């Protein structure tokens, strides 16, 4: 829910938020894309604890929590800012058989 809340709160009014599910390289992928861009000075620290930008009441724990949850399940989280005007956060998780090493 942190990821979706961040996407909605970071989008301009009437902005688009999409969620997609897929598989890539033997991993399940959840991608959340929203209109609006993460400021360049925050991108390298996006998943760090207490980093926030543009939200008056932000604690900087949302994306950090997303990263911790992904890691707890053997996965990772990535920020993608390649599409101008949009931000995508992808969560990669091992598929059931992959996590067990089979």
Q: Tell me the per-residue pLDDT of 74-84, one tens digit each, with 9 for 90 and over.
A: 999 999 999 99
* Mean pLDDT rounded to a whole number for the chain: 87
Q: So what's the pLDDT on residue 100?
A: 47
What angle (nearest 5°) sits at the alpha carbon of residue 83, between those of residues 79 and 89? 25
What does the alpha-carbon distance between residue 66 and residue 85 come to, in Å, rounded to a whole number? 22
Q: So what's the pLDDT on residue 102?
A: 45
Fold topology of 2-95: Heat Shock Protein 90 (3.30.565)
What are the structural domain ranges in the chain? 2-95
Torsion, CA 26, CA 32, CA 37, CA 40, rounded to 10: -40
Regions of the chain where pLDDT drops below 70: 54-59, 97-102
Q: What are phi and psi of 89, to 5 degrees?
A: -115, 125
Q: So what's the pLDDT on residue 15?
A: 87
The DSSP letter of residue 54 is S
């Amino acid at each position: 829910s942190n990821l979706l809340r961040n996407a909605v709160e970071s989008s301009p009014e009437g902005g688009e938020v999409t969620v997609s599910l897929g598989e890539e390289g033997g991993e399940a992928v959840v991608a959340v894309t929203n209109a609006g861009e993460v400021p360049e000075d925050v991108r390298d620290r996006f998943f760090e604890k207490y980093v926030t930008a543009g939200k008056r009441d932000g604690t900087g724990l949302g994306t950090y929590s997303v990263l911790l949850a992904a890691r707890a399940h053997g996965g990772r989280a990535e920020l993608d800012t390649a599409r101008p005007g949009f931000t995508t956060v992808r969560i990669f998780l091992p598929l059931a058989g992959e996590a067990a090493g089979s």
